[in-house]
Chain A
């Protein structure tokens, strides 16, 4: 009787101590999946997904409230990575890349107001007060934040055209293979 009480008490103490240790050292803050999703997202806070920034979007994607395809700058690649992370299957054929577009500044209309330049989340616009601004095409994610603030509507979102380096043969449309 006493032996049983003692052994169970010891067991309880040891397990409780282990649980205490685990609670201290293996502590989980927030949703770990949401954090990993946030790591994958571009972090430019462009808001194209409809959420305030990449943090809220990551939580929504992790909880399943938003589809993995909701990040336009990430495109197909990101959608696939997110799908793999969350273990969901995603039909990418329907989510063909929205024709990616990048900003282009019409130099004859630009008044050098610096508004777009301040809003660009990736520093893709170069400019200064009363100087014509210009876009680094490689850094532009096509989020359109600059497009909205331009007072002279001199920014145009131009679709990205393939070049000799990026062009490739399209998928054969044959039924057989």
Chain B
């Protein structure tokens, strides 16, 4: 609690603006627009949003690439298990891989074509590791499967049926977290939920895909939102959009007029407003418990693009096989918003956008604040990739890091009320327990601290390393426990086998002794005969 209090005090500098903002004067022309009282969140930064690069580019369809590489792990949880063989013909929307286990998601064919193989291919991941991937050669027809069938009225379905259809469509959180959405819908069984929040904050600079989707497909997104609300059984719906997307706010406000339960929240533009916990805090004033879920305070957050995918899945029966991606950055010739089939290579997207105007200093998947560097351009697009950024050296502005001067800028910027400089110092010295004691596990990795650090210390990398190392230690501890259990079980089994053997042996001996004794008792003359016979023989 000490830490939190410190955070409140430290975060004060950036919260001088009166927090309960009533932002209705400018948008008064939109009818049925209930104003929302907003609460303040601590910390945060104001990076230049660079959204002008792609914000006015309407969503275009990426021409179908020659080959699609569809990874079987596009979500958090267990990888999907392949359901197709090499050479098999599939139609668009056919199942390529089953979900496995409680937290998993199936994968579907993004277009019709022939399966070229199920093998290993570089993953859409900073590590450059390979994952199991289905390679599909499109036949150019882009023919939907005959089995695809939507529901005329999704609102007569029970929440269970909605969750089952969302699960079958392979929908995952499309803001980047890629958590299976159906699992989130089923939270209603364990928590008392009252509010659905649609996260349209899109606070990462450069990214405009959610903005464009909400502008162009507002009715479909709102329909998806209403289906999600039905699936969750909630009566309050809040669509939260940052003020730098006024057109999306207006479009969504008009589309949302169909449902009086929906309210539009106009968020101040500040990073990381789109962080689930901070968004909920800004909207409800309640803080999500540490290491808990927003469902603990009755709120479930879904992304706008997820709502669109739910609309597609329920109304048209279409599984999640494509998504909108922003291709942007100073090194991209023509920044665009593209609807790409999952499995298209990053290179395909870059080629369609005119390639590079200069050699990019960094290629990033996602936004510049929390995105991951991509090791190569042949990696495929996945369900969670919302952006491909090719940044110039000037944009990246990498500087050599210098010693910490303990200015505490990072403490003021941290939206979680942590003390990044201390956490990094402990991590650097190898004292990970100390870093955890300072709240490492509450860090959301937003990068605000590293953004403001005047010494250019890679704070987030320290925290990512520390979290990864702690997780690895947890795994090896778990393995040690399991090893112990297995070894004990084996010892017990071997002892039992030996005991059984000894007992069997003892039993046999007893039986032998008993038969011998019985034989002795039954024929007392016989032994006398033997020597007699022997004697006779000797004669």
Asked if A87 CB lies within 8 Å of chain B CBs, one says: no
Task: Tell whether A10 is near chain B: CB-to-CB under 8 Å.
Answer: no
Binds A, one of B144-152, B184-192, B484-492: B484-492
Q: Which residues from chain B contact A43 at a C-beta distance below 8 Å?
A: 483-484, 487-488, 491
Assess whether A176 is in contact with B487, with CB atoms less than 8 Å apart.
no
Q: Which residues of B contact A76 (CB under 8 A)?
A: 473, 476
Kindly provide the distance from the CB of A138 to the nearest chain B CB, expressed in whole angstroms: 8
Contact string against A for B residues 436-475, beta-carbon threshold 8 Å, 1 for contact and 0 otherwise = 0000000000000000000101110110110111011101
Q: How far is the CB of A167 from chain B (nearest CB, A)?
A: 4
Question: Could you say which residues of chain A place their CB within 8 Å of the CB of B428?
Answer: 171, 177
User: Which of B301-329 touch A at CB < 8 Å?
Assistant: none
Q: Is B430 an interface residue (CB 8 A)?
A: yes
Q: In the bound complex, what is the Cα–Cα distance between A74 and B480 (angstroms)? A: 6
| Residue among A73, A166, A176 with most chain B CB within 10 A | A176
Q: Which A residue sits closest to B475, measured CB to CB?
A: A166
Write out the residue numbers on chain A whose beta carbons fall within 8 Å of the beta carbon of B424: 177
Chain A window 160-177, contacts with chain B (Cβ cutoff 8 Å), 1 for yes, 0 for no? 001110111111101111
A172–B458 alpha-carbon span in the complex (Å): 7
Contacts of A74 in B (CB 8 A): 480
Look across to chain B and name the residue whose beta carbon is closest to the beta carbon of A84. Answer: B433
Chain A, interface SS category: loop
Select which of A141, A172, A175 is within 8 A of B465 by beta carbon. Answer: A172
Q: Flag whether A78 is at the interface (Cβ < 8 A).
A: yes
In Å, the complex CA distance between A44 and B482 comes to: 11
Asked if B401 lies at the interface with its beta carbon under 8 angstroms from chain A, I say yes
B401 — nearest CB in chain A belongs to which residue? A174
Verify if A121 is at the interface (C-beta below 8 Å from B). Answer: yes
- B6 on interface, CB distance cutoff 8 Å: no
A75 surroundings in chain B (CB, below 8 A) = 476, 480
Find the residue from B461, B464, B487, B490 having the highest chain A CB count within 10 A.
B487
Bound-state CA distance A168–B401 (Å) is 21
Whether A123 lies near B486 (C-beta < 8 A) is yes
The smallest C-beta distance from B371 to any residue of chain A, in angstroms, reads 14
Q: B73 interface residue, CB < 8 Å from A? A: yes
Q: Which of B90-98, B123-131, B261-269 contacts A (4 or more CB under 8 A)?
A: B123-131
CB-nearest residue of chain A relative to B483?
A42
Q: A75-B476, A77-B477, A164-B127 are in contact. Are A171 and B487 (CB under 8 A)?
A: no
Say yes or no: B129 contacts A163, CB within 8 Å: yes
| B483 pairs with A177, CB closer than 8 A | no
Give the residue of B459, B469, B482 whose beta carbon is less than 8 angstroms from that of A139: B482
B487 partner, pick from A121, A170, A174, beta carbons under 8 A: A121
Q: Out of A141, A164, A176, which one reaches B483, CB within 8 Å? A: A141
- In this complex, what residue of B is CB-closest to A75? B476
The answer on a CB contact under 8 Å between B489 and A123 is yes
Residues of chain B within 8 A (CB-CB) of A141 are: 479, 483
Taking CB atoms, residues of chain A closer than 8 Å to B292 are none
Which residues of A are found within 8 Å of B483, using beta-carbon distances?
Answer: 42-44, 73, 122, 139, 141
Would you call B490 and A168 a contact (CB within 8 A)? no
Least CB distance from B171 to A in Å reads 20
Interface residues of B (CB under 8 A from A): 73, 123, 125-127, 129, 131, 401-404, 421, 424-425, 427-428, 430, 455, 457-459, 461-462, 464-465, 467-469, 471-473, 475-477, 479-480, 482-484, 486-491
14 new A-B contacts at CB < 8 Å, known A123-B486, A176-B403: A43-B487, A121-B487, A122-B490, A138-B482, A164-B125, A168-B467, A169-B461, A169-B465, A171-B462, A171-B469, A172-B461, A176-B455, A177-B424, A177-B427
Residues of A within 8 A of B (CB): 42-45, 73-78, 92-93, 121-124, 138-139, 141, 162-164, 166-172, 174-177
Q: Sorted from nearest, which 10 A-B pairs have the closest CB atoms?
A: A168-B468, A122-B486, A44-B487, A176-B403, A177-B428, A167-B127, A169-B464, A42-B483, A43-B487, A174-B401
Between-chain CB contacts (< 8 Å), 17 pairs = A42-B487, A44-B483, A44-B484, A44-B487, A77-B480, A123-B486, A123-B490, A139-B482, A163-B129, A164-B123, A169-B465, A169-B468, A170-B465, A176-B403, A177-B401, A177-B424, A177-B457
